Structure 1
């Protein structure tokens, strides 16, 4: 799938999505993930509206057409600026434009966007309404169930209602609170308890909304459980990055009903070769791509050797495809793998 998708297709793609993750889901990562699943919806890292509109950083929107269906996540809190950023993203050809109302980092809070905006749903409504009016791509929201001392059972339905009133029809809900003070971003992904049942209730209360659940999902078995429970979609984060083959290689068959056999891990590596070669020819470095491939053989004999070779040999200015070949040796040779 290498062209912009129809709305009905992206709703189906949202049955499973890979979450936007800073420093991880860049264009190289997304290309790798797309080789493993043709159907899963992929998200960019968060791109701030000020960087695009005031900073001229349009290069941050670059993506390969093969990545479709692909969504860009924007961060910001100024409606006119977000509208302009959304227009730029739509011009680049993204299938969806998502607004970040979930990130709890200090850097995001200082810019007055991310999870802190759950305290100001009226402003968020102004933002998404402006983004919707500015361009044709669908605008969605990713949020938490609440922040700090907010009561999720009260704040979340009101927040969803406000988003619906502003024209949003699809949301991804991280089933944890965000604590804006006292917890690091990493701790905010692990310490606040998950409340899947509350998110399930939101789907029952808002049957016309397309709602995806996010947070703590680590396998396709769990994805299937959430879909069977009532959710329209499931967004999976760190597991899709650290163990991508376990999550994505069978996703098209299990989640989307495809009958074409998936690639195996070695076929994925072979399919990455032309992409890596093109990246190197443009002056890029091997590690910029290879760092996203470290978890490809996770759980298999020789995986540690694969990671070590890529990590130790992939950073040099002259590192090329020969490093990939060397890294494959431990996983191709089970006997040697046991000693690596």
Structure 2
């Protein structure tokens, strides 16, 4: 037994050091976010994974601790206290607990966005429609059977354009599609067998301007629907900077609605109006530094009305909130949530919007 004491003490110290290292990496990721290419990988460490791993190491270290620990009493509890503080930060700040839903919210417009990330044949229509969307945004929109969705939006605006599908109970006054022109990276994609993606993804956007007359929103609603590259080799700060530059330079063409509901291509020069809602699969975790340049002072809908982790990817066991929505101050968000549509690789997001109360 005496020969085991030095080994046990060494194992105890090694486990505690590993726990401290995990916490330090997690904290460094929080502090630096994706300001640098190397720091974005630390920022992508999911909080529950980091804290669970550190807690497990502490639990393994406890029975190996020397019976007579000469360290000061307070030092022995420093690591558990740090873990408890980190847990409270995750629950109260990142997950916004406790947050109570608005049970008697006034009339609203419900927006649902879902990046299926693949062509789904069936098994998802009823789940989406059970959430009663007023504006439904789905991509890709290539080969899915749309009969049930089309029937639910019969007589309203239905658009299929460059892989984007729009179903809206409000008229879309005009829309425009644009590639974002983001410089490709190495194509790293852990979903592929060899971790390399052959398809070059430079990002894309669909800009919608909705006529909201008679709706709870008042003024027209401008939506920037974004689909950013998933290549993990790309520095996200550069991705959002390039996307912002492309959106700022865009002047057309636009597709403008005629009184009969048809659309005509108009090539006149017209910049994209500032967004009221930025939504989509951003492939950047919630709270990242890089999002600020793209969202132009808009506020994350989860910050306004969400609660819990709201992770959206991967669908079966989500660890990151990649599918997000950002809202202009003129709008109020009365509810925000992420739900499982039952198919695809991402979860869907839903938010309820209305005009914000006037400030006094």
Q: Same fold (TM over 0.5)?
A: no
Q: TM-score range by the shorter chain?
A: 0.3 to 0.5
Structure label with greater radius of gyration = 2
Higher RCO by CA contacts (8 Å cutoff, separation 6 or greater): 2
In the superposition, the TM-score normalised over structure 2's length comes to: 0.32
TM-score by length of 1: 0.33
More helix per residue: 1
**If each structure's strand is expressed as a fraction of its own residues, which one has the higher value?**
2
